[in-house]
Structure 1
Amino acid sequence: MNYAIELKKFASSQAIYSAVRISLAIVLPSVILAHFGLLKEFFLFPLATSFVGLTDQAGPFIRRRNALVFAIFSFFVVAVVASIIKSFPVLIYPEIIIFSIFFTMIGVYGQRLAAVGALSLVVLAIFIDGHLTGDDIIKSSLIFLAGSIFYLLIFLVVSKIQPYKLAGQMIGENYLELGNYLSLKSKFYFKNPDFDTLYSQIISQQISIKNLQEETRETVFKTRKIVNESTTTSRLLMLMFLNSIDLHEKLMTSESDYRKVQENFGNSDFLNSIGEYLQKLSEEMSNIGIALQSGSKARPLRNIDEMLEKIYNEYFELRNRKMNPDNLGDFMTLRFILNRITAISDEIITIYKVFSQDEKLAKSLSTGLDYQKFVTAEEKLNSKVFLSNFSLKSGLFRHAIRITVALVVGYWISSFEFLGIGHSYWILITIVAILKPAYATTKHRNLLRLYGTISGAIVAYGILYFIGNEKIIFVLFLMAMILCFTFLKTKYSWAVFFMTIYVFLAFNILKPGNVNMIFKDRVLDTAIAGAVAFMVSYFVLPVWEHTKNLDFMRRTSLSNINYFSAAMAFFKNEKIEEQEYKLTRKAAIIDLANLSDNFQRMISDPKNQQKKLEHLHQFVITSHLITAYIASFSQYSETSKDYPEIDFNSWDLKISAELGRTDSILNQKNIDENILEESKIKPLDTVENLLENRRKELVENEFFDRRDPSRISHLTELKNLKEILELIYDVAREQRKVVESLEPEIQSTMVKQ
């Protein structure tokens, strides 16, 4: 691991930037209040600032602003209602039920409002029994409102000063994730790769890339300054993001039959050289990502052309020594791998050139795309969408019931006098943080929360016990807060660890010398909340991941059919626009990532709920390969008329038929006899004849050492093009057999054909 690069990634990331902004918005007013001796009286001010800051998710300015305004309004209403009702214990349980269902159900309008809803329940936990707020309802509510508005003002000022900062950081993060993706793929070329583990890691990385691309797409395409303004920065950011999407496709096209490549060339050092070169390219991508995140100019770390030339020289040396008529096809495959690697290298070189464009050229850059078509539509705030989800068929409604039951039970337990808790807020806050719609996520966060709380409590106890200097404690408090907000979305256990430390230190600042009680309360409350969340997620209207398998499989199957159809139409010069092709590519990648994500969650479900796990795993792997091979096919710069030796019409019918058979089985449709016949078509290719003639030439004629990296023979292109089509068909057929092996009683709406 290159620690210098990792440190630069962290220091320039959106996460640390956002964490510092929220932390300073909390700490600066706290320091001023503490200076005048008012912090204890007005501590709800920085607390409200932190809550509103946590709802500020990455995205377009208007959506972020509207969500913050809605959060402020929701928090204020909850604070006032909870403060009034705390004097009427008989109304507290109905209050919990109504607020829990409403604020969970608003998640139907997207993740942004789901975050507002969750934090609104946290506000309810703070105000529900008045333990932290006191008896002056008007004063505490207004202080809380002022702290909420303060963060909104900070947001508006920062957005005005740095309108492009968030987009640049998110685009940079895309390149960092692509660098990680290429680094994983490079491991296929080193000695004795663990193919199954690497494929699983690559699929997980695809999920990360997909999620990030969706967030970035919304931010970039919905930010008016980037789309409409003809400034250098706006055009370059747009181009950099579009280049990252194209680069992602090129990385997918580098998919090969790695087992076969290792079998043929694993004994040579050349594959290791390829792996090392790809690792260096991944570092170049990280370098680009860091430059975008920090807003600086990116300069190549190495001379890519020289490194690539060295790789080609090694290839030519190996070819001269080892190539013969028997392994001609293997060397053609290796040559085409180099061609794909060259395409990735050229893309990276082009991206570096973009950074050095002058202002006039930057302003002339135009993509010609309708950006609105590439952004997922956000649900409109209408009552029909909201009310239609009040059904046990709705996963969100079932989650709302679980949240409600858990909060009611948690509040009830907190009233047990023998436990000596005396308050409920931390139990309720922990339940809201842990309990998620998916059982697997709840189980995972439960363990992380417990580990983070215990370890953080021990460290915080040690800090307060051994360190008496208030300035040092304040610095540690600030660092813990920043690191907590930094890791909140990516490394939850670490976030909880630092959260526990800064909560301990904060309470010590408010009430010095109370560390033993804080330690006992935090650990006990977390254990109780974790137990409640786990029991509720398991027994109360659980939604197991295997129940969603069929829907995700259907979507992925259909997306791959559309993707192949668009790629083939584009290749055959049929009437299809580039934008339409890119939309089908986007849909295929998103549906593949959703399927993979569902499979990853299913692994954490109880064993008795992991239905047909092995078959689903095979379906995920084959779907990944089909999408990757279609991407490889789509990267040919020429069109079908340039390759008359291949019967593309027959391959189109043959592959489409096989993909269609899988889709028909998944959708319980009768399979047409014509499709069965089309899947058995034997394309009338003449590539094998040309290969045989070339083998004879190698035997009969002297071999010429041609060393032209930019030249790839027509026969090599033909051989690899046919090989890609064969791979798509073979994997599609394998996937169809996987689907046929699924039992009807497991996938209740599915039948064998």
Structure 2
Amino acid sequence: MTGNVRRFTDDTNFTKALIVTFAAVLPVLILARTGRFETGFTIAIGVFLAYPADIPSNLKHRAKGLLVASVIVAGCNLLVNVLHPLPWLFYPLITLLVFFLSMISVYGQRATMVSFSGLLAVALATGHLKSGWDILCNAGLLLCGGLIYTAVSLLFNSLSPHRYTELQLAECIRLTAKYMKLRGDLWDANADRAKITEKQLSLQVEINTIHENLREVLLRSHTAEGTSGQTRKMLLVFIYLLEILELALSTSFDHSKLHNAFKGHGKVLDTYQNLAYNLAAALKRVSKRLENKKKYTPKHQLLQDLEAFENAIKEYEAEVGGEAAQEGVWMLTNMLHYAEKQVEKIKIVERAFTQHIDLKDLKGKDRDLEKFLAPEYYPFRTLKENLGFSSTIFRHSLRLTITIALGFIIGLIFPLQNVYWILLTIVVIMRPGYGLTKQRSYQRITGTIIGGIIAFAFLSFVNNTIITGTLSVVCMILGFTFTAINYRIGATFVTMYVIFIYSMLDPNVSDVIQYRIIDTAIGAGLAFVANYFLWPAWEFINQPVYIKKSIEANRDYLNEIALLYNKKEGVNTSYRLARKNAFIEIGNLMQSYQRMTQEPKSKQKQLQQVYKLAVLNHTLLSSLASLGTYIQSHKTTRASEAFNVVVRTVTQNLEHAIALLNMDIPAQTNTENNKQELAMRFTELKNIRSRELQEVHITAEEEFRLRMQEAQLVIEQLVWLNSLSERIVKAAKQLTVVK
């Protein structure tokens, strides 16, 4: 229980909630003592409106984003108040402003949150109109609130500058360990491998998100602020976590085939599974210690686990004996090498938290880091390119603008008390996708109702301003914390602190809240209906794009692996970029699939076929990672022409699938001649062992063994890659046949 409370209070969302609550409450308390409560309250509103733009990054970009958000909030408030007395000018210009603010989301996450702040400011300003000199004063106070939040946020950050990164890193280690645990589950003879694969794909979405957060913080800090020891240490850990994940993914085997091959010798596979579980457990312990800020002491015995697996291989070889054992021993030895590499990398991660480490372990891996980040400039052409119905953001912006216009019209026609609550609800819950908007609509309405019931029940028994004020602050902290974790609970606490605040300002709070519930329901209903009928972004429309990008990323990754095998040079930036993109695109594809499952059944077109392609691409990525990690970690022989022919064939198959998804008319790649040549090349590859024995006099037993392992793994992966690429082409044909 204590551990859960500590994790909750140490969470980044809770810290941000404390910051925004402190920054908002401070001016209210100070100015209320001088009888200027309303001034303090307006400053607090400025704090709340700047808060969404506070997303993780290095100090410079974080401060810049908050300052821009503060200026936009004040500017939007000023514009609404200046234009409101002129209805013929107000409605057209505010409509254009809403559309523009929505469109700036094309520039990425930071721009999206700045856009959100601006839209909230527009909605809120329509309910608190000023006149004369008060217009400038009000805008100035909102700007002041934004500046106060910026200062407080940066101050808190300076008190613990690395804590956010440590928590994100701890989460990254935990998710990586969970992924490795799932890979270990695959070794159960009766494992539900389809279910495990589904869990892996879902986990890949979470891992991609955490990786992007860490890239944003660590890489920008590294490139912008130089090479501080703590930053470089965490960067080192992050880079090795990426390699650990690649290695975990690379243990690509046909588990059913292996269980059949080692039937009667289950001990050797059980020993390997135990080793796989202990690798995951070691990482999980590192994560917990980092999260709890405790000194890490390794308690596992990974080297003994490696030795146990090595002994199990020897026992298997002794039991089977002779030529019959060779194939199995080569397979098992490759598995042993993967485990040795994992132990080596996990030891480096452990060393980072147990002793002073030599940052030379980076070994040039921190070169060209800026290439892994989205550019921090905002060319006009990006906005221009998205001004069309092919852009999801354009359609969302148009949809949001029309929905807000409908909210204005409803407010003019019906005698609603606070029309701006309708607009706020639309801005808060409306998202580009139907599924998330529907989910948020339900969560906001239920949260508002539950929060209203709890707050009114409390107020019916307690009528003490100090207690109510204290509870409003507590609910504010919990509301901001849970909004990012569980939106329904967040909406419940937000409603409670709004009611508590209104109860201190207005004795007729029950009337006010009744209108709030009605307005919230109207706003949620408008958002829900608009997302269904106004240029909806159904996922089945975009699915071919996500599938195509995933196949393209895998193709590029394969080309980099082939280049590495042919040139025998070290891993360069282009290889790492290709690997990164392959991981990201498979996560994006799975995320799109998950969104589709939230949509109406009638819109879930070819759902199973999409999932099948996601699984095939994930399996292909796993096989590529297996081949890539082997080449990186072993001294390999010269790449044969047969290897390159098979790689070209796999590439052609993937390009064929891409052409099908593009609705192009592709050239037929699987001609009879191509099939015959490929069969010959596989025969050639399978004769590598005898050919090398004839061409080269291998005297050292270790060198002979290594060449046999290389031949076995490379052949196995090439055969598997070709089979997967053909299945992807077939699945792509089935997906496009309905179109």
| Same fold per superposition (TM over 0.5) | yes
Equivalent AA in structure 2 for residue 445 of structure 1: R
Q: 1:541 aligns with which of 517, 535, 539?
A: 535
Equivalent AA in structure 1 for residue 656 of structure 2: R
Residues in 1 aligned to 2:321 and 2:129: alpha-carbon distance in whole angstroms: 80
Contact 2:174–2:284 at 8 Å: present in 1 too?
yes
Equivalent in the alignment of 1:559: 553
Shift of 1:111: 1.8
Q: 1:347 aligns with which of 318, 338, 345?
A: 345
Equivalent in the alignment of 1:725: 718
Residues in 2 aligned to 1:555 and 1:561: alpha-carbon distance in whole angstroms: 10
Alignment of 1:359-370 (within 5 A): 366-367=364-365, 369-370=367-368
Cα 1:324–1:620 change in 2 (3 A) is: farther
Alignment of 1:23-422 (within 5 A): 23-130=21-128, 136-190=134-188, 192-224=190-222, 229-261=226-258, 278-292=276-290, 297-309=295-307, 333=331, 336-358=334-356, 366-367=364-365, 369-378=367-376, 380-417=377-414, 421-422=416-417
Contact 2:189–2:256 at 8 Å: present in 1 too?
no
Shift of 1:563: 0.8
Shift of 1:403: 0.4
Residues in 2 aligned to 1:721 and 1:131: alpha-carbon distance in whole angstroms: 71
Judge which range, 489-498 or 287-296, deviates more. 287-296
| Percent identity between the two aligned chains | 24
Residues in 1 aligned to 2:508 and 2:424: alpha-carbon distance in whole angstroms: 21
Contact 1:571–1:639 at 8 Å: present in 2 too?
no
Q: How many residues align?
A: 720
Equivalent AA in structure 2 for residue 14 of structure 1: T
Residues in 1 aligned to 2:13 and 2:607: alpha-carbon distance in whole angstroms: 35
Residues in 2 aligned to 1:390 and 1:284: alpha-carbon distance in whole angstroms: 50
Equivalent in the alignment of 2:683: 684
What is the DSSP-based 3-state SS (H/G/I as helix, E as strand, rest coil) of the residue aligned with 2:252? Answer: coil
Residues in 2 aligned to 1:208 and 1:290: alpha-carbon distance in whole angstroms: 18
Equivalent AA in structure 2 for residue 438 of structure 1: G
Judge which range, 615-624 or 485-494, deviates more. 485-494
Residues in 2 aligned to 1:279 and 1:16: alpha-carbon distance in whole angstroms: 32
Deviations 1:331-387 (A, max 9, x none): 765664454344323321221112344377579975351112121224x33434323
Residues in 2 aligned to 1:339 and 1:359: alpha-carbon distance in whole angstroms: 25
Query: What runs of 5+ residues in structure 1 fail to find an aligned partner?
Result: 692-707, 747-753
Matched, 1:573 2:570: no
Equivalent AA in structure 1 for residue 283 of structure 2: M
Q: 2:587 aligns with which of 583, 589, 593?
A: 593
Matched, 1:18 2:16: yes
Shift of 1:36: 4.6
Q: 1:740 aligns with which of 721, 733, 738?
A: 733
Cα 1:656–1:5 change in 2 (3 A) is: farther
Residues in 2 aligned to 1:95 and 1:423: alpha-carbon distance in whole angstroms: 22
Cα 1:164–1:657 change in 2 (3 A) is: same
Shift of 1:689: 10
Residues in 1 aligned to 2:179 and 2:441: alpha-carbon distance in whole angstroms: 29
Shift of 1:566: 1.1
Residues in 2 aligned to 1:66 and 1:452: alpha-carbon distance in whole angstroms: 34
Cα 1:473–1:271 change in 2 (3 A) is: farther
Residues in 1 aligned to 2:328 and 2:549: alpha-carbon distance in whole angstroms: 36
Matched, 1:506 2:486: no
Cα 1:363–1:206 change in 2 (3 A) is: closer
Alignment of 1:512-527 (within 5 A): 513-527=507-521
What is the DSSP-based 3-state SS (H/G/I as helix, E as strand, rest coil) of the residue aligned with 1:130? Answer: coil
Equivalent in the alignment of 1:439: 434
Contact 1:442–1:534 at 8 Å: present in 2 too?
yes
Residues in 2 aligned to 1:327 and 1:6: alpha-carbon distance in whole angstroms: 51
Equivalent AA in structure 2 for residue 604 of structure 1: Q
Residues in 1 aligned to 2:335 and 2:446: alpha-carbon distance in whole angstroms: 45
Equivalent in the alignment of 2:455: 460
Shift of 1:625: 0.6
Residues in 2 aligned to 1:437 and 1:736: alpha-carbon distance in whole angstroms: 31
Cα 1:649–1:94 change in 2 (3 A) is: closer
Contact 1:657–1:675 at 8 Å: present in 2 too?
no
Shift of 1:57: 1.1
Cα 1:491–1:299 change in 2 (3 A) is: farther
Judge which range, 179-188 or 83-92, deviates more. 83-92
Equivalent AA in structure 1 for residue 535 of structure 2: L
Equivalent AA in structure 1 for residue 436 of structure 2: T
Judge which range, 490-499 or 106-115, deviates more. 490-499
Cα 1:607–1:412 change in 2 (3 A) is: same
Cα 1:28–1:320 change in 2 (3 A) is: farther
Deviations 1:156-177 (A, max 9, x none): 4344444444444433332232
Contact 2:74–2:143 at 8 Å: present in 1 too?
yes
Cα 1:322–1:562 change in 2 (3 A) is: same
Shift of 1:128: 0.3
Equivalent in the alignment of 2:696: none
Residues in 1 aligned to 2:512 and 2:608: alpha-carbon distance in whole angstroms: 47
Residues in 2 aligned to 1:26 and 1:276: alpha-carbon distance in whole angstroms: 52
Contact 1:52–1:71 at 8 Å: present in 2 too?
yes
Equivalent AA in structure 2 for residue 13 of structure 1: D
Equivalent AA in structure 1 for residue 233 of structure 2: L
Contact 1:622–1:735 at 8 Å: present in 2 too?
yes
Judge which range, 383-392 or 269-278, deviates more. 269-278
Root-mean-square deviation (CA, aligned residues, Å) is 3.7
Residues in 1 aligned to 2:713 and 2:351: alpha-carbon distance in whole angstroms: 31
Equivalent in the alignment of 1:620: 614
Contact 2:221–2:231 at 8 Å: present in 1 too?
no
What is the DSSP-based 3-state SS (H/G/I as helix, E as strand, rest coil) of the residue aligned with 2:567? Answer: coil
What is the DSSP-based 3-state SS (H/G/I as helix, E as strand, rest coil) of the residue aligned with 1:640? Answer: coil
What is the DSSP-based 3-state SS (H/G/I as helix, E as strand, rest coil) of the residue aligned with 1:641? Answer: coil
Residues in 1 aligned to 2:106 and 2:192: alpha-carbon distance in whole angstroms: 41
Alignment of 1:646-665 (within 5 A): 648-665=643-660
Contact 1:240–1:351 at 8 Å: present in 2 too?
yes
Equivalent AA in structure 1 for residue 483 of structure 2: L
Residues in 2 aligned to 1:608 and 1:43: alpha-carbon distance in whole angstroms: 48
Deviations 1:99-156 (A, max 9, x none): 2101001112222112111221111111103279999433332322211111122234
Equivalent in the alignment of 1:640: 636
- TM-score, normalising length from structure 1? 0.85
More helix by share: 2
Residues in 1 aligned to 2:221 and 2:284: alpha-carbon distance in whole angstroms: 25
Shift of 1:516: 2.9
Judge which range, 434-443 or 260-269, deviates more. 260-269
- TM-score, normalising length from structure 2? 0.86
Residues in 1 aligned to 2:455 and 2:305: alpha-carbon distance in whole angstroms: 50
Contact 2:472–2:500 at 8 Å: present in 1 too?
yes
Residues in 2 aligned to 1:358 and 1:129: alpha-carbon distance in whole angstroms: 57
Deviations 1:199-246 (A, max 9, x none): 22211211221222223212222225x665343213212212211221
Shift of 1:283: 4.3
Residues in 2 aligned to 1:469 and 1:262: alpha-carbon distance in whole angstroms: 70
Contact 1:168–1:292 at 8 Å: present in 2 too?
yes
Contact 1:654–1:680 at 8 Å: present in 2 too?
no
Equivalent AA in structure 1 for residue 452 of structure 2: A
Shift of 1:685: 5.2
